[in-house]
Structure 1
Amino acid sequence: MSKIIVNETSCDKGPLPYRTVLVLLLLASMLTVMAGAIITPVVEVMRGDLKIDGTAAGLILTMHGLVIAVSSPLAGWLIDRWGRRVPLAAGLVMYGLAGGAGVFAESYQALIASRIIFGLGAALVFTGTTVAMLALYRGTLRDRVMGWRTTATSIGGVIFPLIGGGLATLMSWHAAFGVYLIGLPIGIAVLAMMPASQEKAQKSTRQQGDAMLTLLRQPALTGIFFLVIVQAVMLYALAVFLPQRLAELGYQMPVVASLYMALMSGTSSVIGAYFGRLRQRWSYLALLRWTAVAWVGAFLLLGLSGDLWLLAVGSAITGISNALAFSTTSVMVADFVPEKVLGRAMAVFSTCMFLGQFLSPVLLGALIEQTSLTTGYLMLSGGATLILTVLLLMRQERKLTEKAL
């Protein structure tokens, strides 16, 4: 057995390396949020213009997420096989071209086809940006960078729906798809500026695949991926069903729900900005415990309260839990696996995240139809209580080990 050595040396005192590349990676990270957020305000307009039902219109918004969940393992294999730079650049170009195709799409079939190809590019973008950040930075600087990534994606969750809605109002719903074209210049810049991977694969694809399977059998890594799914379910439980909860209380204007979503994204961005400092103070296990505490409290408020201010507090706490969960689990995966299979490990991370996003409205929706929104939220709080109990019973995490590869 050999320990995975993680460099915990702080780089805070020296200059930040790869600054230009980091800016590009943060911009690319925002594109993963933009994938759905930019067209959220125009779904209803598209439904009427294309003469489709609500389910078909919803697929325009969610199809890319399902494609990401399915294709992420392939994206991870490509990154481990060819390095980070070329697959990420190719994914950004595919993202821009397929996403921008919506500007010219005049039929539902053409739009869905473009969203499938778009999802393939987005899978490379999500996995590639994550692997690049985790590989280029170490120690406390890595914690800070991953926190900044959470902040960037959270800010994107606030501004992109406004951009999409504004363009659709000024021109047409097709114009919102034009924003995806930003992936083209970012992809070209990544290809020109990102350093190539230093470590070359010295073992066969089969050997590396066996190593990845060995790691996936480790209970700690399995637990991390489970929490990724839970985080996605919790996030979309708010994004999908809070507008219905507000409507039950008599607040049906879309702008009200948008304010709550913005509040959630705002608190996520703040926590992301300070994640590096939080990581210096608390261990991974402690941060995960705080995440579970936030889940318990948030969904108790959302399930029991009919007061707008308390619902706002619940939304804000959900943003805190989302930032803690996403940043902590991302860095934990990077600390657990060797860099040679990091691409495939983060691909599993991506699959878990987008699978959770896809399943959340399906599973929770079925429960809510049989019971009520408040019951659904209270059951999520109960599930978070079980997770918190398990985390409290766990001992302080030790250095993770792996079999020699």
Structure 2
Amino acid sequence: MINPTIPSIQATFSHVPNSETLAQLVSTTSAWVVLIAAPTTGYLLDRYARKPILLAAVIIFGAGTSVAFFLDSIYLILATRIFDGIAIAAINVTVPTLITDYYSDGRRESVMGYFTAATSGGGVIAALLGGYIAGSIGWRYIFLVYAVALLFVPFIIRYLTEPDVTKTTSDDEVGRIEAAINIVRNNPAWLLISIYVLVLLAMLTTNLVQIEVPYYLTGGLDVGDGQVGIILSSVSLVAFAMSSLYGQIKQRLRHITIMALSFGVSSVGFIAIATFDTLLPVYLGILTSAVGFGLILPAANDWVAKVVDPEYRGRALSGVTMFMYGGFALSPFLPNPLIDAFGRLGMLRVAGVFLAVVALGLFGLWFRSRDISDEETVLADD
């Protein structure tokens, strides 16, 4: 929601040294905070309780961020983005953890897909709403929208219950280091790390559509800014649709198969973007990439939740959020060497080939897992 306002924020504080960089940090600071706050949230969820943490996160999100409306210093506005990062980390870790606590099997898979779909749908609304508010009444009013989150507080208090799993583990005196050792010893650590890496790679590449593709659309294909906004909004709509269908897809496919297909489909989209020089096939390539990326996050959350012991679920799921925002935070910087070497289209082509290699590797692991003995079938499926 803030991204459309960055030029206006920069213009307002143009008298401040490095105003352009500071305005961009208004958008990106929270992503870096999430990297620290997500694992801390996971520990607190497993050590204490779920509901109070979600409640505190929503209050921080609504009150701590919206106060920026009243501030006349860009440095103080940046400080409020720290609250935003803390709240985002806590919400994005606590919600999938609660979903896993409340639901099981096919119902859990469907609801996990709805959670990711809500995130994508929120992205569409936020982009459109942010652009409208910034253009009509001023960028400061963007921050007041965050206060709407406070309306959810009474519903959280009234309708959400504390899961039984936290009641049985809250008295556990296992320290943080010992808990980490237990996660590695009692859970498939290699699998968790692999899922986290896949999330990081997915977010790195999917964010290229939001950051780098618009340059190609406006500079190479002479697409107007308004059309670019519609195109990027449609990407979120496609991701919304695919995430909503995750529960049905998971009934027919294994996690590793979904991941392999997702990366494979996304690679086709990137290669199409970099190959064609007319709008229609490029647009279809953009939508194709969104089809693949829309399934990766619900699959990752669901996969991690399935293979980890309940008492470590919060910490394990925090890794998905941490690596997701790590990919967002790194995506503006990591493509630069490839752009310098191959140009923007060449970089997108390299990204497409890389995604194809990841997909082939996952398909190879899937074929190999079919030969695993019956005793290892559960792990292979997960």
The alpha-carbon deviation at position 203 of structure 1 amounts to 3.2
* Counterpart in the other structure of 2:6: 43
Q: For residues 215 and 234 of structure 1, what CA distance do their matches in structure 2 show?
A: 32
The alpha-carbon deviation at position 194 of structure 1 amounts to 0.8
Amino acid at match of 1:386: V
* Counterpart in the other structure of 1:66: 32
**1:163 to 2:126 alignment:** no
Deviation per CA, 1:138-157: give whole Å up to 9, x if none.
Answer: 11111111111222111111
Secondary structure at the residue paired with 1:363? coil
Deviation per CA, 1:12-56: give whole Å up to 9, x if none.
Answer: xxxxxxxxxxxxxxxxxxxxxxxxxx1111111111011153322
Amino acid at match of 1:263: S
Amino acid at match of 1:275: Y
Amino acid at match of 1:161: A
* Counterpart in the other structure of 1:263: 234
CA separation of 1:62 and 1:215: change in aligned 2, threshold 3 A = farther
The 8 Å contact of residues 263 and 293 in structure 2, kept in 1 or not, is answered as no
Q: For residues 44 and 385 of structure 1, what CA distance do their matches in structure 2 show?
A: 36
Deviation per CA, 1:248-275: give whole Å up to 9, x if none.
Answer: 2142532122122112111111112211
The alpha-carbon deviation at position 355 of structure 1 amounts to 0.5
The alpha-carbon deviation at position 79 of structure 1 amounts to 1.0
Aligned residues: 364
Q: For residues 252 and 293 of structure 1, what CA distance do their matches in structure 2 show?
A: 28
**1:376 to 2:355 alignment:** no
* Counterpart in the other structure of 1:230: 201
Normalising by structure 2, what TM-score? 0.91
Amino acid at match of 2:334: L
Deviation per CA, 1:290-330: give whole Å up to 9, x if none.
Answer: 11211220110111111111111111112111111111111
2:218 pairs with one of 238, 242, 247: 247
Q: For residues 309 and 215 of structure 1, what CA distance do their matches in structure 2 show?
A: 50
5+ residue gaps, structure 2, are 371-376
* Counterpart in the other structure of 1:307: 278
The alpha-carbon deviation at position 372 of structure 1 amounts to 0.6
The 8 Å contact of residues 96 and 181 in structure 1, kept in 2 or not, is answered as yes
5+ residue gaps, structure 1, are 1-37
* Counterpart in the other structure of 2:84: 118
CA root-mean-square deviation: 1.7
Amino acid at match of 2:265: A
* Counterpart in the other structure of 1:280: 251
Deviation larger for 61-70 or 264-273: 264-273
The 8 Å contact of residues 89 and 188 in structure 1, kept in 2 or not, is answered as no
Deviation larger for 72-81 or 367-376: 367-376
Q: For residues 260 and 396 of structure 1, what CA distance do their matches in structure 2 show?
A: 39
The alpha-carbon deviation at position 211 of structure 1 amounts to 1.6
Secondary structure at the residue paired with 1:251? coil
The 8 Å contact of residues 299 and 381 in structure 1, kept in 2 or not, is answered as yes
CA separation of 1:68 and 1:215: change in aligned 2, threshold 3 A = farther
The alpha-carbon deviation at position 158 of structure 1 amounts to 1.0
Structure 2 counterparts to residues 33-182 of structure 1, below 5 A = 38-51=1-14, 52-182=18-148
Q: For residues 191 and 119 of structure 1, what CA distance do their matches in structure 2 show?
A: 23
CA separation of 1:132 and 1:80: change in aligned 2, threshold 3 A = same
* Counterpart in the other structure of 2:374: none
Q: For residues 260 and 342 of structure 2, what CA distance do their matches in structure 1 show?
A: 29
**1:360 to 2:331 alignment:** yes
The alpha-carbon deviation at position 217 of structure 1 amounts to 6.6
The 8 Å contact of residues 187 and 308 in structure 2, kept in 1 or not, is answered as no
* Counterpart in the other structure of 2:156: 190
The alpha-carbon deviation at position 396 of structure 1 amounts to 3.8
The alpha-carbon deviation at position 342 of structure 1 amounts to 0.7
Q: For residues 158 and 290 of structure 2, what CA distance do their matches in structure 1 show?
A: 35
The alpha-carbon deviation at position 215 of structure 1 amounts to 5.9
Give aligned-pair identity as a percent: 21
Deviation per CA, 1:194-250: give whole Å up to 9, x if none.
Answer: 111212215323242322343677222111111110111111111100111112214
Normalising by structure 1, what TM-score? 0.86
The alpha-carbon deviation at position 127 of structure 1 amounts to 0.6
The 8 Å contact of residues 305 and 311 in structure 1, kept in 2 or not, is answered as yes
Q: Which runs of 4+ in 1 moved over 3 A?
A: 213-217
**1:203 to 2:172 alignment:** yes
Deviation per CA, 1:333-368: give whole Å up to 9, x if none.
Answer: 000101111111111111111011111111012321
CA separation of 1:176 and 1:380: change in aligned 2, threshold 3 A = same
1:219 pairs with one of 170, 179, 190: 190
* Counterpart in the other structure of 2:379: 400
Structure 2 counterparts to residues 322-337 of structure 1, below 5 A = 322-337=293-308
Deviation larger for 209-218 or 51-60: 209-218
